Chain A
Amino acid sequence: MLHSSRNAHLRLVTPPPTGSDEAADVDLARALMAGTPGAPELAWDRYAPLVHGIVGRALGPDAEVEDVTQEIFCRLFARIRTLRKPEALRSFVVSFAVRIVKWELRRRRARRWLTLSETGEVPDNQLLFMSVENRYALQRLYALLNKLGTRERLVLVLRHVEGMTLEEIAEAMEISLATVKRALRRASTRLSDLVDGDPKLGRPIGQPAPRSAK
């Protein structure tokens, strides 16, 4: 529920479906449920950007975003028959993505994978072409997010990074709106404290050294 102007900077990264999108979704959902050849590829073409975005932003800089996205689609197809309303395909996809991302976050937490890439050996795929300082800032952000509980982290990322509405988050995570709000408040406060108190972020940068002419 976006009432106040202070949330005006938030935007929905993936626009909500239009009427024609919903009609196409109904056809696509029925084709998937009927096992029509080519339907999975169509679903991929339509929803891969959405799912990839959720995974990438929720997990952070991670070389396995593509792999997790693949996994989401494979599991989605395996459970497509549980979709009750074909017109709700988009919500179904988002819900699936969020569920698997949540599982992935918990798995990582359980294994105490505090490094940003699973192997710790490969440069993070999403960060290859970023500036050093932005890369560092993002690495710090996701290191701090690792300190949040899975639900808090996911709610915060879906809201502040992915730009979803509170209602969308509640639906995707299958929790109540009130729970979303509580979790978001805790997560926002905690992350703000962590960021503001992080000595490694925003260290004072000195004045530019005069550059000798060449």
Chain B
Amino acid sequence: MSRLDDERPDGDWEPADLSPRAGALTDLARKSLGQISPAEQARGRDTLRARLAFGRWRTGRPFAYVLLGAAAATAVVALVSRAGVHEEAAAPLAYGIEGGALGPGGVIEARGATEPAVRFADGTVITLAKGTQGRINSVDGRGAHLSIAEGTASVNVVPKPHARWRIDAGPFTINVHGTVFTAAWSPATGRLDVRMERGLISVEGPLTGGPLALRAGQRLTVVPRESRVILARLDDSDDDAPVNPTAPAAPSEAATTAPSERPAAPAAVAPARPAVRPARPGRTWGASLAAGDFASIVDDAERDLPRALASASSDDLAALADAARYRRRDDLARRALTVQRRRFADSPRAADAAFFLGRLDENDGGGLIHALRWYDRYLDEAPSGSYAAEALGREMIALRELYGAARARDVADEYVRRFPRGSYAGAARALRGER
């Protein structure tokens, strides 16, 4: 402790210093927080320009902005709210539909072959592609809630404090925090595609493992029926580049090109009939999981948890663990994974369970040591398993964090050799370059 809070002899009082540990933390904050990227600065300039166009800040003499004229000239065909655009607004945002009209139940109806655009008073624009079925569920002073039943929406949300924009695309929920992106949902194929141009959104739904953050320049594809989640760079055309939905955001230098998609791992023991009651009649937990019906899986299991854990098939236990993780019930997920390893030892799902137990330990914030052991075990049991790249990458990062770069270099070498295009390849090469 190096605190000094005494009066100096010359009367120049000097305030206290921080303790070494507190000083180290503030150093970390100084180095880690607050930097603005060129992209963020450019985006902020655009946003500022848009806000200025709406004249929220003008004090008298107006600035001449092209956007102001453009906004005024917009053909608003349905003004639904009388809220003023100059108010920070408890009142709902004013909006209008360009190239369409508002039908019963908030349905956005296109006029002819046009692509209707919903223009909000704060500058936000949501455009529906031709043939898209969308509806406005609600509008308030902070944003709006829209749904896409089928088709593609291009979304350009102007960031502002405390805004809340939500787009539902089928079973997925997209929370928007000021951004430009397109979202396409196909109920026929059960596929969600999101392409991010700017900003940050989170997507939550089947297979996402809780809110999944998407940043500028990324694309996300989720196909629950195929248990497939792909998070990749926009310019990465490799459609077979799935990521594990429980994985953290990819290292900045690397596109997510994880090795292989999650297989439908066979259970070591396949019961003749479901040992536990499915979430819905005629539907297995696996099917419920794919449908995003996580709550019913958890509820079913918890009606008689000991029995469920003792009698569930390997597939059902995996589905229960996934559902529990998606519902943020890590305790339940851990139990299901542990039972999976005990009851179905030596099966592929038991090995997968080791990986997921590592992820759970890592998410605890203080369990890196335990996570390391689980990753090690997974790699021993399934050296070429579905999550081998992810486990090796996480192990490398954990080793670096716990013991420094030198201890992590062997793993970095192995990673680059085995997965030269993997998610952690950039980080691994950086580690090797530190020699």
- Residues of A whose CB lies within 8 Å of any CB of B are 1, 3-4, 6-7, 9, 13, 34-37, 39-41, 44-45, 48-49, 52-57, 60-61, 63-71, 73-75, 77-81, 118-119, 121-123, 125-134, 136-142, 156-157, 160-163, 166, 178, 181-182, 184-185, 188-189, 191-192, 194-196, 200-203, 205-206, 208-209, 211-212, 214
Contact = CB atoms under 8 A, between A and B. Distances in A.
Contact of A56 (B1, B8, B35, B365): B35
A192 B59 CA distance: 45
B266 interface: no
Interface of A is mostly: helix
B44 interface: yes
Given A6-B2, A128-B249, A188 B30 contact: no
A129 to B, nearest CB: 5
Contacts of B8: 3
Contact of A121 (B15, B23, B41, B211): B211
Contacts of A125: 200
A66 B40 contact: yes
Interface residues of B, number: 88
B414 A214 contact: yes
B26 interface: yes
B435 interface: no
Interface stretch (B92-100, B183-191, B395-403): B395-403
B202 interface: yes
Contacts of A208: 399, 402-403, 407
Contact of B368 (A77, A133, A156, A163): A133
Given A3-B14, A67-B177, A80-B59, 20 more contacts: A9-B27, A35-B61, A39-B63, A41-B49, A64-B177, A65-B34, A81-B59, A122-B200, A129-B249, A132-B368, A141-B25, A141-B29, A184-B15, A188-B18, A192-B3, A192-B21, A195-B25, A200-B366, A205-B402, A211-B395
B45 interface: yes
Contact of A70 (B2, B27, B32, B48): B48
B47 to A, nearest CB: 6
Contacts of B32: 126-127, 130, 134, 138
B379 interface: yes
17 contacts: A35-B63, A36-B63, A53-B34, A66-B44, A67-B163, A68-B161, A70-B51, A74-B51, A122-B200, A123-B211, A132-B363, A138-B25, A161-B29, A166-B15, A209-B376, A211-B372, A211-B395
Interface in B355-376: 362-363, 365-366, 368-369, 372-373, 376
Contact of A192 (B19, B27, B57, B175): B19
Contact of A66 (B3, B25, B178, B202): B178
B3 A123 contact: no
B15 A185 contact: yes
Contact of B16 (A67, A81, A185): A185
A52 B21 contact: no
Contacts of A48: 36, 41, 44-45
A195 B22 CA distance: 6
Contacts of B30: 13, 57, 160-163
B5 A185 contact: yes
A96 to B, nearest CB: 12
A205 to B, nearest CB: 6
A63 B3 contact: no
Contacts of A36: 63
B213 A123 contact: yes
B48 A137 contact: no
A160 B27 CA distance: 8
A136 B363 CA distance: 10
B58 interface: yes
Contact of B200 (A39, A63, A121): A63
B175 A160 contact: no
Shortest 9 CB-CB distances between A and B: which pairs? A56-B34, A192-B19, A53-B34, A78-B57, A52-B36, A188-B16, A184-B15, A195-B22, A136-B365
